[in-house]
Amino acid sequence: MTAAEIFAIDVAGVTKRFGDKTVVNAIDLQVRRGEIYGFLGPNGSGKTTFIRMLCGLLTPDGGTGTCLGYDLRTQQADIKKHVGYMTQKFSYYEDLSIRENLDFIARIYGVPDRADAVQRSLRRLGLENRSAQLAGQLSGGWKQRLALAACLIHSPQLLLLDEPTAGVDPKARREFWDEIHQLAADGLTVLITTHYMDAAERCHRLAYLAYGNLLTRGSLADVLAAAQLTTWTVTGPDLRQLARELRGHPGVEQVVAFGNTLHVSGRDATRLDAVIAAVRTPRHQWARIPSSLEDVFISLMETAEDNFK
């Protein structure tokens, strides 16, 4: 098998600058066909910019690579034909009805059996009886669903989803993920950005971006293991006082309150244990827990702030 048959996305050193600001800095990324790849990172870290370069909306300032086997720089027109891109901000026509929007996209892509495809798409969305409603009148969550349906209508091989579940209720989110997994099982490749940790945990693999730099990537287990982060929880009285005390110590990198517990994390386990031994009293219950993805990401972000800012 050639690289293009294995990887839907295969890029190296992709860079984008706006003025003298480097927004995406030499990113290498390989996404296998049929994989669901999660793309995470704080606001302004360059996720949207990276995706736009993948689908030919922005020209990279540096780097090379292929998307579905087509060259990122010279074959943008071919890439566009086989990619479904769902923008972060709703970008279908608010003054067109749901059906008219789907019909428009289907015509643009020259979908065979157009009327049928539109009808199927409406049925799958559960929007059959609201198809005449203007897209602008839909609630935020329904707009997201319409957008997903629209970018699937031409049966793309690669889906680029930019925060598709922002503002979507938990039940709809679960249905959305079920659908994504179904599509991936059928061979579709999905690159998806999100800020939700539960979403990240449903991806086959993850990448974490901060200030345009790719900080970590791999499966959930890989990412957690690579972070080598130690986390303790503590419950008991006067947690605010305790948190203030802990934050001053070197070796303690994060102190985060979750309801009535504090999460205390650090990458250097021995130093963290030493600090905790020093402040530990019988008034509080201490326990070591496996670090969560969120703990890991916040830790990564804080390190990134020190390194790149």
Partner 1 sequence: MSNRRFTFHRLWAIVLKEFIQMKRDRVTFAMMVGIPLMQLMLFGFAINADPKHLPAVVRSADQGPFARTFVSALQHSDYFRFVGEADTEAAAHDLLREGTVQFVINIPADFSRQLLRGERPVILLEADATDPAASGPALAAVRALADTVLNRDLTGPLARLRGRAGPVEFRVHAHYNPENITQYNIVPGLMGVVLTMTMVIITGLAITRERERGTMENLLATPVRPFEVMVGKILPYIVVGYIQVTLILLAAHFIFEVPMIGSLPLLYAVALLFIGANLAVGITFSTLAKNQLQAVQMAFFFFLPSVLLTGFMFPFRGMPEWAQWVGTCLPNTHFLRIVRGILLKGNGLAEIAPELWPLLLFVVVAMSVGVKRYRQTLD
Ligand X SMILES: Nc1ncnc2c1ncn2[C@@H]1O[C@H](COP(=O)(O)OP(=O)(O)OP(=O)(O)O)[C@@H](O)[C@H]1O
Residue with smaller CB distance to partner 1, 55 or 304: 55
Tokens 């098998």, located at residue: 1
Which letter does DSSP use for residue 97 in this model? B
Residue 81 lies near partner 1 (rule: CB under 8 A) = yes
Give the distance between the most distant pair of CA atoms in the chain. Answer: 72
Give the C-alpha distances (Å, rounded to integers) separating 295 from 41, 198, 233. Answer: 13, 13, 12
Residue with smaller CB distance to ligand X, 52 or 82: 52
First and final CA of the chain: distance in angstroms? 42
Which letter does DSSP use for residue 161 in this model? E
Interface with Mg ion in residues 18-47 (CB under 5 A): 47
Using CB under 8 A, which of 62, 104, 243, 301 touches partner 1?
Answer: 104
Give the C-alpha distances (Å, rounded to integers) separating 50 from 9, 17, 18, 195, 227. Answer: 12, 11, 13, 16, 24
The entry of Mg ion, ligand X, partner 1, none that residue 130 binds, CB within 5 to 8 Å by partner kind: none
Asked if residue 192 lies in contact with residue 38, where contact means CB atoms within 8 angstroms, the answer is: yes
12: left (phi over 0), alpha (psi -120 to 50) or beta: beta
Piece in contact with ligand X (CB under 6 A), picked from 46-54, 94-102, 130-138, 200-208? 46-54
Residue with smaller CB distance to partner 1, 10 or 162: 162
Nearest partner of 234 among 191, 279, 182, 189, judged by Cα: 279
Residue 120 lies near partner 1 (rule: CB under 8 A) = no
Using CB under 8 A, which of 38, 41, 46, 56 touches partner 1?
Answer: 56
Residue 88 lies near Mg ion (rule: CB under 5 A) = yes
Query: Which helix (H) or strand (E) is 102 found in, with range?
Result: helix 98-109
> How far is CA 17 from its chain centroid?
21
Residue 198: CB minimum distance to ligand X, A: 17
Asked if residue 252 lies in contact with residue 275, where contact means CB atoms within 8 angstroms, the answer is: yes
The entry of ligand X, Mg ion, partner 1, none that residue 45 binds, CB within 5 to 8 Å by partner kind: ligand X
How far is residue 35's CA from residue 254's CA, in Å, rounded to a whole number?
32
Using CB under 6 A, which of 38, 41, 60, 65 touches ligand X?
Answer: 41
Residue with smaller CB distance to Mg ion, 47 or 99: 47
Residue 48: CB minimum distance to ligand X, A: 3
Tokens representing 70?
A: 């087509």
**Residues sharing a CB contact under 8 Å with residue 150, sequence separation 6 or more, in sequence order:** 92, 101, 102, 105, 121
Residue 136: CB minimum distance to ligand X, A: 22
Residue 164: CB minimum distance to ligand X, A: 12
Interface with Mg ion in residues 178-237 (CB under 5 A): none
Using CB under 5 A, which of 22, 25, 45, 48 touches Mg ion?
Answer: 48
CA 212, 89, 155, 83 dihedral sign is negative
Residue 214: CB minimum distance to ligand X, A: 12
Residue 92 lies near partner 1 (rule: CB under 8 A) = yes
Residue with smaller CB distance to partner 1, 110 or 237: 110
Helix (H, G, I), strand (E, B) or coil at 260: coil
Tokens 């530990």, located at residue: 280
Residue 266 lies near ligand X (rule: CB under 6 A) = no
Interface with ligand X in residues 59-98 (CB under 6 A): 88
Piece in contact with partner 1 (CB under 8 A), picked from 93-101, 178-186, 200-208, 250-258? 93-101
List interacting residues with Mg ion (CB under 5 A). Answer: 47-48, 88
List interacting residues with ligand X (CB under 6 A). Answer: 18, 23, 41, 43-49, 88
